[in-house]
């Protein structure tokens, strides 16, 4: 099943003359050219002592150079892409925690990462885009350091990619993913989506996030397909990019899908002329009403998938027709083995609720330098995801929420997803997120924030009554805040933990 176990071998699965990378208003780069960039970059890094196991931080804006640089650095060393929007304290933490041996940054880019790297005497390598050539072509301006002995070349068991968990409630954990992990996950996504050389992915996901790196970029590479790399997601520009690149699919988080839907009506002609064959959603729960609206608008199947960094992205996915795709479900196991486990470590039968656990070729073997987290995360060879859910009798997984995000209202455990979906049934509601807020007697109480559709009108009392007609009284939000926007993390995901404080509901 797995024809490749390194990123370099993934690059060889396609045809050398086929386009690999493109971008709006840029000429494409074929696989022969991409392979050449990867090999040249690897040799240059090896020459200055950067090779297998050496962590290289990457701070680049989204685009084809971010894609080709990741492929090149991960093939030769260990790539550690960082969010360019980080502030100085964040760069200081990540560069220190990584023990980065070099920083690759865009030529002339104004970033606090430069100052932090200079202070820590981390060599700075500038990436110089060669815009007159194909999309993704670049050269490296190396630091003036003496050459050292050539570094070791990578193997399937070497770490290709290191990412940190979000760290909402504690210190972020470092997740190492080997070449074998990322190659397996890329092929899993390719298989699920039935990607071929004729496919074109419009990538709007950040290339410092596992969803963009594996779910869009490497899955396409494993099929010898084309990835059109957009700049940072912009709903105002999406349909222009869409018309120009002619994608057959795209993958995004639900908030991006909702922003796209908000502008779809005024771009109906572009939608009708498209050659789209599927839409993929992952990284947070896709409300059933959003899935249904996407399918009505684009006339293609919408596949909700389930992924996380520790699994090198994909764990489960709804399948393509003729198999059923179920709204409110993240589908069937799509790569690793998947099961439900109780607190004692026993696997549970179908329909029983417990913690989702996984094991397989794409799953990390453990966090870096974190014995305590590893002891908690693994049980009898299974990785505990921290997500609660159950498998139905057909093997489809239904998530009921993050265990840490469960609202404990006086002993009643409430899953926020259920309340999100109830609010989204209201015709005036475009977005909804439910979260816990402090309560002096109950410990926690249910709260929610919503964004209304353009031109729609509603009130807190009306929305509370709407939910009360559908759910038990103890699940009805005590507060419903109507907002112009809901605060989100850097990848577009809503962070439920801590939202009460951000929105002024916690002193």
Split at pLDDT 50, 70, 90, the class of 506 is confident
Tokens 């892409």 correspond to 81
Whole-number Å distance between alpha carbons of 333 and 397: 8
Tokens 């908000």 correspond to 262
Backbone Cα Rg of the chain: 23
Percent of the chain with pLDDT over 90: 78
**Tokens describing residue 198:** 């004729």
pLDDT digits (tens, 9 = 90+) for 33-83: 999 999 999 999 998 999 999 999 999 999 999 999 999 999 999 999 999
pLDDT of residue 336: 96
Closest CA to 32 of 7, 15, 45: 15
pLDDT higher than threshold 90 for residue 125: yes
Is the backbone of residue 381 left (phi > 0), alpha (psi -120 to 50) or beta? left
Angstrom distances, CA of residue 220 to CA of 14, 147, 312, 346: 10, 36, 15, 37
Tell me, rounded to whole angstroms, the distance of Cα 123 from its chain centroid: 29
Any idea what the CATH number is for the domain that residue 418 is in? 3.30.300.30
Whole-number Å distance between alpha carbons of 397 and 353: 10
pLDDT higher than threshold 70 for residue 145: no
Split at pLDDT 50, 70, 90, the class of 507 is low
Is the backbone of residue 49 left (phi > 0), alpha (psi -120 to 50) or beta? left
- Asked if the structure places residue 434 within a domain, the reply is yes
State how many domains the chain has.
Answer: 1
Secondary structure (3-state) at 98: helix
Split at pLDDT 50, 70, 90, the class of 402 is confident
Neighbours of 392 (CB within 10 A): 13
Tell me, rounded to whole angstroms, the distance of Cα 442 from its chain centroid: 35
- Phi and psi of 489, rounded to 5°? -80, 180
Which range marks the domain in which residue 433 is found? 406-502
CB 175 within 8 A of CB 307: no
Beta-carbon contacts of 18 under 8 Å, excluding residues fewer than 6 positions away, are: 30, 31, 197, 224, 225, 226
Closest CA to 430 of 455, 398, 405: 455
Closest CA to 79 of 106, 51, 107: 51
CB 300 within 8 A of CB 434: no
- Asked if the structure places residue 6 within a domain, the reply is no
pLDDT of residue 154: 86
pLDDT of residue 169: 47
What average pLDDT does the segment 219-229 reach? 98
Q: Does a cis peptide bond (omega within 30 degrees of 0) precede residue 322?
A: yes
pLDDT higher than threshold 90 for residue 365: yes
CB 288 within 8 A of CB 307: no
- Asked if the structure places residue 84 within a domain, the reply is no
Output the CA torsion 234→235→240→245 (10° steps).
70
Q: String of b and e for 161-179 (b: at least 16 CB within 10 Å)?
A: bbbbbeeeeeebbbbbbbb
- Asked if the structure places residue 450 within a domain, the reply is yes
- Phi and psi of 170, rounded to 5°? -155, 180
Beta-carbon contacts of 91 under 8 Å, excluding residues fewer than 6 positions away, are: 59, 82, 111, 112, 113, 116
Is the backbone of residue 76 left (phi > 0), alpha (psi -120 to 50) or beta? alpha
pLDDT of residue 1: 63
Tokens 């038990």 correspond to 472
- Asked if the structure places residue 449 within a domain, the reply is yes
Closest CA to 219 of 298, 326, 312, 155: 312
pLDDT higher than threshold 80 for residue 490: no
The better pLDDT of the pair 166, 226 is held by 226
Tell me, rounded to whole angstroms, the distance of Cα 356 from its chain centroid: 19
Mean pLDDT of the chain, nearest integer:
92
- Asked if the structure places residue 493 within a domain, the reply is yes
pLDDT of residue 168: 47
Neighbours of 252 (CB within 10 A): 27
Secondary structure (3-state) at 101: coil
pLDDT digits (tens, 9 = 90+) for 407-453: 888 767 788 888 998 999 999 999 999 999 988 878 889 999 999 99
CB 424 within 8 A of CB 453: no
- Asked if the structure places residue 459 within a domain, the reply is yes
Tokens 């995901």 correspond to 493
What average pLDDT does the segment 345-371 reach? 96
Q: Helix crossing, 460-468 with 416-424: angle to 10°? A: 110
Q: Give the CB-side neighbour count of residue 255, counting CA atoms within 13 A.
A: 20
Split at pLDDT 50, 70, 90, the class of 147 is low
pLDDT digits (tens, 9 = 90+) for 235-275: 999 999 999 999 999 999 988 998 999 999 999 999 999 99
pLDDT digits (tens, 9 = 90+) for 149-164: 566 778 999 999 999 9
Split at pLDDT 50, 70, 90, the class of 492 is low
- Asked if the structure places residue 431 within a domain, the reply is yes
pLDDT digits (tens, 9 = 90+) for 167-214: 544 578 999 999 999 999 999 999 999 999 999 999 999 999 999 999
């Amino acid at each position: 099943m797995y024809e490749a176990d390194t990123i370099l071998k993934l690059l060889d699965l396609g045809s050398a003359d086929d386009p690999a990378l493109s971008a709006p208003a840029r000429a494409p780069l074929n696989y022969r050219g991409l392979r050449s960039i990867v090999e040249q970059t690897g040799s240059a890094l090896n020459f200055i002592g950067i090779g297998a196991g050496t962590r290289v931080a990457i701070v680049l804006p989204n685009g084809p150079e971010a894609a080709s640089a990741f492929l090149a650095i991960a093939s030769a060393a260990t790539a550690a892409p960082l969010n360019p929007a980080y502030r100085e304290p964040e760069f200081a933490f990540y560069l220190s925690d990584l023990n980065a041996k070099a920083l690759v940054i865009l030529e002339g880019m104004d970033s606090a990462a430069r100052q932090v790297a200079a202070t820590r005497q981390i060599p700075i390598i500038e990436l110089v885009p060669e815009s007159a050539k194909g999309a993704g072509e670049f050269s490296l301006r190396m630091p003036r350091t003496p050459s050292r002995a050539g570094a070791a070349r990578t193997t399937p068991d070497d770490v290709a990619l290191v990412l940190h968990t979000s760290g909402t409630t504690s210190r972020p954990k470092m997740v190492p993913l080997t070449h074998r992990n990322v190659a397996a996950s890329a092929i899993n996504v390719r298989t699920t989506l039935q990607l071929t050389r004729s496919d074109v992915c419009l990538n709007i996901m950040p290339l410092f996030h596992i969803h963009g790196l594996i779910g869009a970029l490497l899955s396409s590479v494993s099929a010898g397909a084309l990835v059109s790399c957009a700049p940072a997601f912009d709903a105002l520009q999406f349909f222009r990019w869409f018309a120009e690149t002619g994608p057959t699919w795209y993958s995004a988080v639900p908030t991006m899908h909702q922003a796209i839907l908000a502008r779809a009506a005024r771009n109906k002609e572009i939608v009708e002329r498209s050659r789209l064959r599927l839409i993929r959603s992952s990284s947070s729960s896709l409300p059933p009403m959003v899935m249904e609206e996407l399918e009505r608008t684009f006339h293609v199947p919408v596949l909700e998938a389930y992924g996380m960094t520790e699994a090198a992205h994909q764990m489960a996915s709804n399948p393509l027709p003729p198999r059923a795709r179920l709204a409110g479900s993240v589908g069937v196991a799509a790569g690793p083995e998947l099961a439900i486990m109780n607190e004692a470590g026993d696997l549970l039968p179908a329909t029983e609720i417990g913690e989702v656990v996984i094991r397989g070729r794409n799953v990390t073997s453990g966090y870096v330098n974190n014995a305590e987290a590893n002891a908690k995360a693994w049980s009898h060879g299974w990785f505990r995801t921290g997500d609660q859910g159950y498998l139905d009798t057909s093997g489809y997984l239904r998530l009921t929420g993050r265990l840490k995000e469960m609202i404990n209202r006086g002993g009643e455990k409430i899953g926020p997803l259920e309340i999100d979906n109830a609010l989204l049934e209201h015709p005036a509601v475009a977005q909804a997120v439910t979260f816990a807020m402090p309560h002096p007697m109950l410990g926690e109480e249910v709260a929610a924030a919503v964004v209304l559709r353009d031109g729609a009108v509603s009130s807190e009392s009306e929305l509370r009554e709407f939910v009360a007609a559908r759910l038990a009284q103890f699940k009805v939000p005590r507060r419903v805040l109507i907002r112009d926007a809901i605060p989100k993390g850097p990848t577009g995901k809503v962070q439920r933990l801590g939202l009460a404080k951000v929105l002024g509901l916690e002193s």
